[in-house]
Chain A
Amino acid sequence: MEALTAIVIGVLTAASVYLMLARNFMRFLFGLVLLSNAVNLTIFASGRMTKGAPALVPYGEDAPLGVVGNALPQALVLTAIVIGFGLLAFTLALAFEGYRRMNSVDTDEMRFAEPKEDTTK
């Protein structure tokens, strides 16, 4: 399944790169969401995937019986999902406020920090 997941991750990454290169800032946000998913899957898949064996210690035992899913990448992905959400929420607020102030979602027009040089000079 790692190989198939790798292909899915490739598709997700390609799509997010394409979206992040778009002029529309909302598309950039879509790219960000897809990229978060791609990164989480990458962490998950590189820790190897085990089918149908959650990382639990049965009652009365000191350790899991037999091979169970790799717990460490799962913990990392859990953290990453939440942080990715925080990032998206903040970026969304930024985009929204940016649109309200500059009345545009076109990144070519949204040049508050690096304004266009005055060509009349």
Chain B
Amino acid sequence: MAEHSDPNAPWKTVSGIGTSAVTALLFVFFLQYLPIVAAGEPVRWVVPWIPSLDINFTFWIDGLSLMFALLITGIGAMVMLYAAKYLAGHPQYDRFALYLFSFMLSMLGLVLADNLIALFVFWELTTFTSYLLIGFSHTDPKSRRNALQALLLTAAGGLALLAGFILIGITQGTFEMSELNAAGSLVGKEFYTLILFLVLAGAFTKSAQVPFHFWLPNAMAAPTPVSAYLHSATMVKAGVYLLARMHPSLSGSDLWVWILSIFGAVTAVFASFMALRQTDLKQTLAYTTLMALGTLVMFLAGSTGYAITAAMTFLLVHSLYKAGLFLTIGIIDHATGTRDANVLGGLKSAMPITAAAAALAGIAMAGIPPFLGFIAKEVAYAGALEMHLWLFVVPMALIAFALMFAVAGIVAYKPFFGPQGALPHEPHEGPWPMLLGPVTLGALGLLFGLLPGISAYYLIEPAVAAVMGAPDVGGRVKLWAGFNLPLLLSLVTFGLGYLIYLKHQGLRERLARIEAKSPDLDASWDVFLDKFMGFTKLQTKLIQTGVLRQYMFATFAVFALTVFVTLMARDVGGLTLGLGGLGFMEWGVALLIIAGTVLVLLTSSRIVALVGLGVVGIGVALIFIMYSAPDVAITQLLVELLVVVLLALAFLKMPNLDPTGVQKHNFANAVLAIAVGGLTTTVLLLVVDQPFDRRLTEFFEAASWTQAFGRNIVNVILVDFRTLDTFGEIAVVLVAALGAFALLKGAAKARAVKEDKK
């Protein structure tokens, strides 16, 4: 299936333009909240969902969620327009548009939800919709496998997250994020460590931190617009969003600082080396996304104003340039038929607008002034210097940023301004719907950098305030912060980055050799899945034997065990056997029933077994007669007669009980049977030992004549007070009769028809 469009196919379809227009309208809708939120007034809507469990669809717009909402809808609208042209003429384009739009809505719900359970629902919805998007080229087995890998990993993390959320709800008594953050830190509270680990499991799998990173580069199997969207502002940022959202509640402990710093830094540095190693530009960008996620996590480890400002600024910058670059790569791929970094070069004359857009995004990525990317890097160094583990964080940030500088050159400079390569197609400029996104995003990166005060006031500072849980002092986002250590570090970054760019081809080969020798987590994943499938097969084989006796045995054994354990745990004390004062009649009836039972148990003859059953039935009826239940006794006798007749009729046409004539007994079955019987007797003895509450019976005795005008209380209960019960009983008998009739007559008829046909 071709990923690319037919250039002549109509692309202005309802599913293409329509979804993009609706998303753009949403973007405008959220824009109106900018001044309100910037003035420090969060907006909140509540729609009750399950009020009894304190679960609501609460939507909460503060600086953090508004920044995400704008990125999601803004970039979403441009990506949808781009995709309409990129995939025009694709036979399943409508399906794609549906997936992408659903994903956009889920993501929007995720960042706006204030209730943790609602947030979890949206979280899982993004997992499912991204699964559909990554596996969009469903005829390709690799695409399906990678989609499944992303689904399993992130969904497993999602389950851990749910457990964490429930623990938070138990500890704090509310699921509303705004109330939790206002109530202060969870550090030191009950379950804090467990909650932290569970939430981090969710966030780290979603945001692809090492060692859960391997699904992200594989997710590049998706069409390029999807990668642009999922890996810029959305899907993978969900984990970062969650860490930022819960920052006021969870941050501050040593555990938080150490885990986030180390995992973030390792992910960032590992990913930037891997980005350098790739030759497919899309894979390179995938790893730079990982680098960005690692950096964001690393800065969220801190709690100082500079660290958080660094995270929020970098988040904004990264979303803009990464979406732009992905879209640019899509245009290059579209126009030249290749994404190979070694081949691409000299495209600037054929694709001037694309080149300009790429340059804008590339400069932002490299962090060169006056772009917002430069400011982000300055603030990041300032934040890193303030962090607890600065001795570790600063060098890691330096390495990552320098590599980023080099990769920016590879991705955005070399294909356009580098030496000409041998291209599969003659390059041509992209169509305007595909250029609009990258150009706008690139221009915004420059504009935000030139107007740092405005971008800080409306976007960054409200987000910082939301993450810190306190009004922000602001004033950190400046194009010129004076001669200081961060500026010096920036200059070092540029120098080091340029050096790496010059030497990158040699470095790439060396990295490839190292990679070949290191363990492959992606391959281990397949082994793990295979082993897991083997285990489930074994489990099914053990549990689901297909033998009825084993199912029955397990059922009775579990029953016996649970009753036994409960009796032991409750420490019920001694049993009293009140067998005194019983006459000849009582003992006689009891022995009669037992004799009948033993007869059924031990005989190999069908007729003798029927006689035994009859004896038991009559014995039970005798108990009813003796103990004041004549109506029950009559019914019992009647039914017992019918049972014996029916069984006799059927058994005449069925084989003997034991084909060999000798009954085989089973010791284990006998032990279990005696255990179940003994426990039943014990429980019943305990029940009758308790004082009896006759209130209900007294009501019926008093009301039988006065309210229902009947003197036989049992009958009155059946036909008056519990009429519906009796009606249900009649229905059951009717259904059983119909069922039996259909089974016996219907099947016989079907057989007759079959024989006729023969």
Contact = CB atoms under 8 A, between A and B. Distances in A.
A59 B711 CA distance: 8
A17 B673 contact: yes
B601 A74 contact: no
Contacts, number: 279
Nearest to A50: B628
Interface residues of B, number: 97
A116 interface: yes
B687 interface: yes
A64 B701 contact: yes
B327 to A, nearest CB: 51
A78 B725 CA distance: 11
A6 B689 CA distance: 12
Interface stretch (B153-161, B192-200, B574-582): B574-582
Contact of B733 (A10, A51, A82, A96): A82
Interface in A16-50: 17-24, 26-27, 29-30, 33-34, 37-38, 40-42, 44-50
Interface of A: 1-15, 17-24, 26-27, 29-30, 33-34, 37-38, 40-42, 44-59, 61-64, 68-72, 74-75, 77-79, 81-90, 92-97, 99-101, 105, 107-108, 110-111, 114-116
Given A6-B681, A21-B549, A68 B670 contact: no
Nearest to A48: B692
B546 A81 contact: no
Given A15-B597, A55-B714, A94-B743, 10 more contacts: A2-B688, A18-B673, A30-B600, A45-B684, A53-B628, A62-B705, A68-B628, A69-B629, A95-B650, A114-B546
B421 interface: no
B594 interface: yes
Contacts of A21: 549, 552-553, 556, 666, 669, 672-673
B657 A27 contact: yes
Contacts of A105: 654-655
Contact of A72 (B547, B677, B710, B717): B717
Given A10-B678, A62-B702, A89 B740 contact: yes
Contacts of A23: 549
Given A10-B677, A20-B552, A23-B549, A86 B657 contact: no
B601 A85 contact: no
Nearest to B644: A33
A84 B733 CA distance: 9
Nearest to A67: B694
17 contacts: A2-B685, A4-B586, A10-B681, A14-B677, A23-B549, A26-B606, A37-B617, A38-B680, A42-B684, A44-B629, A49-B627, A52-B627, A62-B705, A74-B714, A86-B733, A86-B735, A97-B743
Nearest to B592: A8
B55 interface: no
Contacts of B547: 107-108
A9 B729 contact: no
B573 to A, nearest CB: 16
B628 A55 contact: yes
Contacts of A7: 590, 681
A80 B586 CA distance: 24
